[in-house]
C-alpha cells in the first residue's frame, strides 16, 4: 500500500478563506486571510494546495488576484479550481503558474471544448466529478449533469488522466468520505483519482490509502484541518507521507 498526497484546501469567498457545508451558499465558516492560510499549510509540511475560487464557481465574482498571489508567493504545487469554463479562463488560470487546474462545469456543459483542453494540457487538466444525490453537479453544485459512468467513459476516451471526486453530501460535514463512490470511480477508469469531501478522522485517510492499489493517490482535506480535528503533520503521517 503506497501513500497518498495530501492537499490542504483553501477555498476563497469574498477574499476570505472559508469552508462551506455541502457546497451551500450562505453556509460558510470564515477562517481569515487565504494567503496566510496557504502559507501556514506550507510551513506545516504541505507540498500541494487545493485552491478554489468559490465566487467564480458560483458565477458571481472573482478572487483571481488573490489566487494569483498565492500561486506566485507561496512555494507549493497548486491545484486551482473554480469558474474555469472556457479557453480564456483556462489560459488565465494556467498563466498564474499553477501546477494543475480542475474543470468541473465545463465537463458537463461544454464537453467538446473540455476534450480539447485535456488534449492540449494532458498533465495539467484534471476533471472534477462532483456527485450529488447520485448525479453529477456543476456551477457551484447548483446545476445537474448526467450519470457518472457515462461521463467518465467519455472523458477517458478524451484522455483524462485525473479525476477529483467529491461527494457533495459529505463535503464540510466531517461525516467521513464516501468510500463506495470513490471505489466505484476507481473501477471505472485507469486514470488517477483524488478523494475530496468528508474527511474527519485520521482513520479516514488510512481507509483511503487502502484504495491506492486501485488508483486513488491523493486526498483533499478542508474543514477537519481548520477546526483542529488533527494536524497536517498527523494527516501526512496517516496518509503515508512524511512532513
Q: In sequence order, what DSSP letters do the residues of 214-241 get, joined into one string?
A: GTEEEEEE-HHHHTTSS-HHHHHHHTT-
**Enzyme catalytic residues:** 11, 130
pLDDT digits (tens, 9 = 90+) for 202-216: 999 999 999 999 999
Query: What pLDDT does 139 receive?
Result: 55
Task: Look up cell 445537474; give the residue.
Answer: 144
**Strand ranges in 34-191 using DSSP code E only, listed in sequence order:** 48-53, 77-81, 100-103, 125-132, 135-138, 143-144, 162-167
Query: What pLDDT does 142 receive?
Result: 46
42, 64, 159, 193 from 4: Cα distances, Å: 17, 29, 23, 10
3-state secondary structure string across 120-133? HCCCCEEEEEEEEC
pLDDT digits (tens, 9 = 90+) for 32-43: 999 999 999 999
Say whether pLDDT at 198 is over 70: yes
216 forms beta bridges with: 193
pLDDT digits (tens, 9 = 90+) for 123-170: 999 999 988 877 787 655 445 567 889 999 999 999 999 999 998 877
CA distance 97 to 67: 11
Query: What pLDDT does 172 receive?
Result: 60
6 forms beta bridges with: 219
Nearest Cα residue to 166 out of 199, 189, 192 = 199
Confidence bin at 26 (pLDDT 50/70/90): low
Residue 112 backbone phi and psi in degrees, to 5: -65, -45
Across the range 103-112, mean pLDDT stands at: 88
Nearest Cα residue to 236 out of 198, 212, 210, 209 = 209
Instruction: Choose the CATH number for 5-238 among 3.30.1490.20, 3.40.640.10, 3.20.20.100, 3.20.20.70.
Output: 3.20.20.70
Amino acid at each position: 500500500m503506497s501513500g497518498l498526497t495530501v492537499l490542504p484546501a483553501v477555498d476563497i469567498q469574498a477574499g476570505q478563506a472559508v469552508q462551506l457545508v455541502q457546497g451551500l451558499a450562505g453556509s460558510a465558516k470564515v477562517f481569515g486571510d487565504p494567503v496566510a492560510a496557504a502559507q501556514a499549510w506550507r510551513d506545516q509540511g504541505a507540498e500541494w494546495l487545493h485552491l478554489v475560487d468559490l465566487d467564480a464557481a458560483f458565477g458571481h465574482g472573482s478572487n483571481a488576484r488573490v489566487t494569483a498571489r498565492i500561486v506566485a508567493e507561496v512555494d507549493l504545487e497548486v491545484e486551482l479550481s473554480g469558474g474555469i469554463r472556457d479557453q480564456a479562463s483556462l489560459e488565465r488560470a494556467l498563466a498564474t503558474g499553477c501546477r494543475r487546474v480542475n474543470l468541473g462545469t465545463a465537463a458537463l456543459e461544454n464537453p467538446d471544448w473540455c476534450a480539447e483542453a485535456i488534449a492540449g494540457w494532458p498533465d495539467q487538466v484534471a476533471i472534477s466529478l462532483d456527485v450529488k444525490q447520485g448525479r453529477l453537479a456543476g456551477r457551484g453544485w447548483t446545476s445537474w449533469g448526467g450519470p457518472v459512468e457515462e461521463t467518465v467513459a467519455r472523458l477517458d476516451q478524451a484522455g483524462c488522466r485525473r479525476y477529483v471526486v467529491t461527494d457533495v453530501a459529505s463535503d464540510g460535514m466531517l461525516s467521513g468520505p464516501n468510500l463506495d463512490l470513490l471505489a466505484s470511480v476507481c473501477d471505472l477508469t485507469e486514470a488517477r483519482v483524488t478523494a475530496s469531501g468528508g474527511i474527519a478522522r485520521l482513520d479516514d485517510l488510512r481507509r483511503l490509502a487502502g484504495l491506492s492499489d486501485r488508483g486513488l493517490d491523493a486526498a483533499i482535506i478542508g474543514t477537519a484541518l481548520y477546526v483542529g480535528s488533527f494536524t497536517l503533520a498527523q494527516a501526512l503521517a496517516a496518509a503515508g507521507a512524511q512532513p
